[in-house]
Amino acid sequence: MQTEAASSALDRLVTPDEYQARRSRIFPSQTSLRWYLRVHRTSLIERGALIRIAGRLMLDSPALDRAVIEIAASASAT
């Protein structure tokens, strides 16, 4: 039996294609999103935004949103 919290956590997971479609003004193409995920991979994994389930890349949409803002803010401060 799945708990409500686990169900909610799984509902946050999206494929890179789904994420890019929802955030196309930030990542206008799949290539731009793939580049971002590659460049910031370690940080995104540490923040829980990038995970693999059964070998499939999945993104925690709210965690990735926060990470994008935090990484951009950090880069802007330097």
Tell me whether residue 42 is in a domain: yes
Say what the pTM is.
Answer: 0.86
Closest CA to 59 of 29, 21, 28, 25: 21
Tell me whether residue 70 is in a domain: yes
CA distances from residue 39 to 44, 47, 58 in whole angstroms, order as listed = 10, 14, 16
Tell me whether residue 37 is in a domain: yes
Tell me whether residue 4 is in a domain: no
29 pLDDT more than 60: yes
38 pLDDT more than 70: yes
Residue 33 structural domain: 12-77
Tell me whether residue 35 is in a domain: yes
Tell me whether residue 65 is in a domain: yes
User: Domain tally for the chain?
Assistant: 1
Tell me whether residue 5 is in a domain: no
Q: How confident is the model at residue 78 (pLDDT cuts 50, 70, 90)?
A: confident
Q: pLDDT tens across 50-77, in order?
A: 999 999 999 999 999 999 999 999 999 8
